[in-house]
Amino acid sequence: MAALEIILAFLSCIGLLGLGWLLFGRALLPEGGVRAWAVVPARGDGEDLEQAVKSLLWLRAGGLWQGGVLLADCGLTPAGRAAARALAERESGVVLCPPEELESYIGG
């Protein structure tokens, strides 16, 4: 009987944590459907680019953030540009742009 009580208490705690996570995410979301851009500067071969994008997409999937990911080309090599382009094509809401076009995305 004690084992059943321990299991039920554990499951209750997990449920309360999940509910708290959802409520916390709702409290942080901006009202009015504001679309925010996260600008990720992409340099060199884009070594850490995929990890940065995956982290932002994880936040979006969890409901803690609404918006797109903007990969700003700040000196990518041809291999880095190909990797960034492939990442932008594979993931929805990810855009690769040159620095001179940044204002068109974030300036209004």
Per-residue pLDDT, 16: 95
Mean pLDDT across 87-95: 90
Per-residue pLDDT, 17: 95
Q: What is the pTM (predicted TM-score) of this model?
A: 0.67
Give 66's pLDDT tier (boundaries 50, 70, 90): confident
78 CB-contact burial (10 Å; exposed 0-12 / middle 13-18 / buried 19+): exposed
Per-residue pLDDT, 2: 87
Task: Count CB neighbours of 67 within 10 A.
Answer: 15
> How far, in Å, CA of 20 to CA of 2, rounded?
27
